[in-house]
Amino acid sequence: MAMVCLSDFEAYAKKYLPKIAWDYFAAGADDCTTRDENILAYKRIRFRPRMLRDVSVMDIKTKILGSEISVPIGIAPTGFHQLAWPDGEKSTARAARAMNTCYIASTYSTCTLEEISAAAPGGLRWFQLYIHRNRAASQQLVQRAEALGFQGLVLTADLPYTGKRRDDVRNGFRLPPHMKVKNLERAFEVCKMSLLDPSVTWNDIYWLRSLTHLPIIVKGILTREDAELAVKHGVQGIIVSNHGGRQLDEGPATIDALVEVVEAVRGRVEVYVDGGIRKGSDVLKALALGAKCVFIGRPALWGLAYKGEEGLQDVLRILQEEFRLSMALAG
């Protein structure tokens, strides 16, 4: 079977992943309305293509927080990559480095930050953080990440509690015994999300700032009011995200929220977006609407499920080619 577009990787993953893993990655909250809206909202946005422009040379490189990446498509933080491919996040790190883009490693990785760093030295990586009730554990994670050369700290703001993903409840989802949330091995047990601290507020940005010199990016912003608060609290970047539609169902699609956030931010910090990117033209739309870079979540996992590091590179390469072609055809 030829892998022609991202849906082909999705079909492959659905067919070959264990049901419990597929369901976990595919899950959306409640009725999955927002998960699906993320995709539908892109389809509602239409191009006004311009003709007869010289598109023989196109530059798709960009910089995020000062680091150059070869294409404005990074890897969003998602958990448990070993569910998709034995080498887990090590493969992800290698693929991202090979494609010269940014990989945001999740707190809920099945490899340690040290393993991830060692797998692809020199790659551009950010670290995604959940703040736990045990603040010392979170502090230690942040400082490990900084010491290992991660170049950004991504605070997930939309998970005070875990959303209700019906299939995971039905499946009684948990990691198989041979996998671990290694970054937290001593401090936590797997999936005890209730260890997350639901009392986190904007003031905790100041606490994080006191722990690290890394730029802080807040992930999960969907409104102009929160975008304004993020800027006011001194973050360096915002990822417009609804956690892939896995948290509150029936909120806005991310591409729709992006417009409002970009407008509120007025260039004071960089704005990124994840959720619903399935084609190169989606990337072009997000950039045209003000995103500095997009991040892909599920498609990266499908790539891993297909052929590990190589499969993820395939996904990134296809998306990049489609993005480049869309730019040319849109003039």
Q: x/- contact string, 2-41, with its own copies (CB under 8 A)? A: x-xx------------------------xx-x--------
Q: x/- contact string, 180-199, with its own copies (CB under 8 A)? A: -----------------xxx
* Residues 131, 204 contacting (CB under 8 angstroms): yes
* Residues 237, 205 contacting (CB under 8 angstroms): no
- Residue 56, helix vs strand vs coil: coil
Min. distance of Cβ 258 from its own copies in angstroms? Answer: 14
Integer Cα distance of 137 and 134 in angstroms: 6
Kindly write down the DSSP assignment for every residue of 254-271, as one continuous string.
Answer: HHHHHHHHHHHHTTSSEE
How does DSSP classify residue 26?
H
Integer Cα distance of 40 and 263 in angstroms: 22
Helix (H) or strand (E) holding 226: helix 224-232
Integer Cα distance of 206 and 230 in angstroms: 11
Catalytic residues: 243
- Residue 241, helix vs strand vs coil: coil
Residue 301: alpha-carbon gap to chain centroid: 11
Min. distance of Cβ 32 from its own copies in angstroms? Answer: 12
Contact pick of 144, 202, 231, 317 for its own copies (by CB under 8 A): 202
Is residue 107 close enough to count as binding its own copies by CB under 8 A? no
Q: Smaller CB distance to its own copies: residue 10 or 322?
A: 322
Is residue 220 close enough to count as binding its own copies by CB under 8 A? yes
Contact pick of 16, 70, 118, 161 for its own copies (by CB under 8 A): 161
Is residue 274 close enough to count as binding its own copies by CB under 8 A? no
Integer Cα distance of 216 and 235 in angstroms: 5
The total of other beta-carbon atoms located within 10 Å of residue 105's CB is 28
Integer Cα distance of 212 and 241 in angstroms: 24
Contact pick of 17, 26, 102, 221 for its own copies (by CB under 8 A): 221
Q: Smaller CB distance to its own copies: residue 28 or 88?
A: 28
* Candidates 10-18, 72-80, 93-101, 322-330; binding stretch for its own copies (CB under 8 A): 322-330
Min. distance of Cβ 287 from its own copies in angstroms? Answer: 15
Integer Cα distance of 230 and 211 in angstroms: 18
Query: Residue length, the chain?
Result: 331
Is residue 250 close enough to count as binding its own copies by CB under 8 A? yes
Contact pick of 247, 254, 313, 320 for its own copies (by CB under 8 A): 247
Helix (H) or strand (E) holding 67: strand 67-69
Is residue 100 close enough to count as binding its own copies by CB under 8 A? no
Q: Smaller CB distance to its own copies: residue 147 or 328?
A: 328
Q: Smaller CB distance to its own copies: residue 5 or 289?
A: 5
Positions in the binding site for its own copies (CB under 8 A): 2, 4-5, 30-31, 33, 43, 45-56, 157-158, 160-161, 163-164, 166, 169-170, 197-202, 204, 218, 220-223, 225-226, 229, 242, 247-252, 279, 281, 322, 325-326, 328-330
